[in-house]
Amino acid sequence: MKAIYIHIPFCNHICTYCDFYKMVAKEELKKKYIDYLIKEIEMKKEYLSDIETIYIGGGTPSSLSLNLLEQLFQTLAKYISLENIQEFTFEANPNDVTIELANLLKKYQVNRISLGVQSLNRRILKILGRKHNKKSVYQAIRILKSVELTNINADLMYGIGNERFRIIKKDIRRLINQKVTHLSAYSLIIEEKTIIGRQLALGKFKPMDPAKEARIYRKICSFLTKNNFIHYEISNFCHSGYQSKHNLIYWNNLNYLGVGAGASFYIDNIRYTNIMNLQEYFNGIDKQELNYLETTKLTDEERMSEEMILGLRKLEGVKKESFQAKFGIDIYQKYPFLSDLISKNLIIDDNVFLKVPTDKLYLINEVLVNFI
């Protein structure tokens, strides 16, 4: 097992667009959760000896107190050689970043920070229900760099109402000037049970026209590549050597461990999702067993489908030789319609990889639907 994802389901407030499993909670519940999270880690310690990447996400991990974070880090250090970890990512809200937090992260070998920026524009931040501003983002970056935490990702969001590309371009330029090493750009997905989803149902929110959203996406890709960012996955860009090693494990369809309420993980062709209800999560661990929301053993057909869907998100694509070695069948024999996609220039065969051309990435869903 090379990777572990740790889910912290707590936030200081709920953003208008977020559909992840999260809640606002009192310190007492957070403490109980960390106690049980540590018990789950101990239950899975047999998987931890070869871990190379750690990702603590949520929710908002930085909403935890320093004492609770240190308890979690001490447990990880007990079972994982943190000084040998290739990548240790910690998600944080800009407003939560203090010198005390930065020093704690540095102490326990965290070497990559993912900041939930979303936007630097005051109006867009208000629509999204975010509480920070551009000054707090700059301050967070300065604090992190002061303790030599320089591998910083900034999450951005686009496709919000009538937002124009010039707003996003200004945000990107500012973040480039702040010397972030990685940028993730995600389009706004409106989920029914979110605040924006309810606003949409009431006619109080107008989604962006898909054609306009596609144009903005293409402009984002162009602007970032012109500024020396490598476009390596449909939504992810980085300076050379700063690809997310942890996320590449997902996109390469490899095994990974997950701990925490609502966490998903993948072991030996079985996908697991931990129960989300905290009381049920606690009850299961009290019985030295885990309550799963679902477990799915993938068929060979489903494994091949996921290999294509995840692999084609990467700009390098799917390696034909690796597909054959993994599944014992030629990729064209399995998917004869690939020839048709190639004739339409929706896929390129460069003799080693099958990939979606960069100028067709905005059409990727039209490609991926063929593999479902």
Q: Which tens digits make up the pLDDT trace of 299-344?
A: 999 999 999 999 999 999 999 999 999 999 999 999 999 999 999 9
Which is nearest to 252 in space by CA: 241, 260, 244, 240? 244
The pLDDT score that the predictor gives to residue 312 is 98
Q: Is the pLDDT confidence value at 22 over 70?
A: no
- Burial code (b: 16+ CB inside 10 Å, e: under 16) for 152-179 equals bbbbbbbbbeebebebbeebbebbbebe
What is the percent of the chain where pLDDT is above 90? 87
Catalogue all structural domains in the chain, each as residue range(s) with its CATH number: 3-251 (3.20.20.70), 318-371 (no CATH)
Mean pLDDT for the stretch of residues 237-260: 98
pLDDT at 202 over 90: no
Rounded average pLDDT over 70-77: 99
Q: Is the pLDDT of residue 132 over 80?
A: yes
Question: DSSP characters for 137-202?
Answer: HHHHHHHHHHTT---EEEEEEE--TT--HHHHHHHHHHHHHTT-SEEEEEEPP--TTSHHHHHHHT
What pTM value is reported for the model?
0.95
Judged against a pLDDT cut of 90, whether residue 27 lies above it is answered with: yes
CA 176, 177, 180, 184 torsion-angle sign: negative
Span 338-355, mean pLDDT? 97
DSSP assigned state of 268 = T
User: Is the pLDDT confidence value at 20 over 70?
Assistant: no
pLDDT of residue 290: 85
Q: How far apart are CA 218 and CA 372, in angstroms?
A: 25
pLDDT of 24 over the 80 cut: no
Mean of per-residue pLDDT scores for the chain: 95
Per-residue pLDDT band for 263 (boundaries 50, 70, 90) equals very high
Q: Which residues pair with 152 in a beta bridge?
A: 113
Which residue stretches of 64-164 are H helix? Answer: 66-79, 99-107, 122-128, 134-146
Distance CA(304)–CA(302), nearest Å, equals 5
Among 15-19, 66-70, 84-88, the minimum mean pLDDT is found in 15-19
What average pLDDT does this structure show over 4-25?
82
Report how far residue 105's alpha carbon sits from residue 342's, in angstroms, rounded to the nearest whole number. 47
Using CA atoms, how far residue 47 sits from 4, 78, 282, in Å, is: 9, 13, 21
Which pLDDT score is estimated for 342?
98
pLDDT band, residue 92 (cuts 50/70/90): very high
Q: So what's the pLDDT on residue 327?
A: 97
Check whether 118 has a pLDDT greater than 90.
yes
Confidence of residue 58 (pLDDT cuts 50, 70, 90): very high
Residue 79 has pLDDT above 90, yes or no: yes
What is the mean pLDDT of the segment spanning 178-186?
Answer: 98
Mean per-residue pLDDT for 206-218?
A: 92
Look up tokens 């200081």; give the residue: 12
Element (H, E) at 49: none
What pLDDT is recorded for position 21?
Answer: 64
Of the candidates 48, 9, 15, the residue with the CA atom closest to the CA atom of residue 32: 9
At 265, which helix (H) or strand (E)? strand 264-267
pLDDT of amino acid 248: 98
Q: What percent of the chain has pLDDT over 70?
A: 99
Q: Which comes out higher in pLDDT, residue 107 or 193? A: 107
Query: Averaged over 174-179, what is the pLDDT?
Result: 98
* Per-residue pLDDT, 189: 86
Q: pLDDT category, 190, cuts 50, 70, 90? A: confident
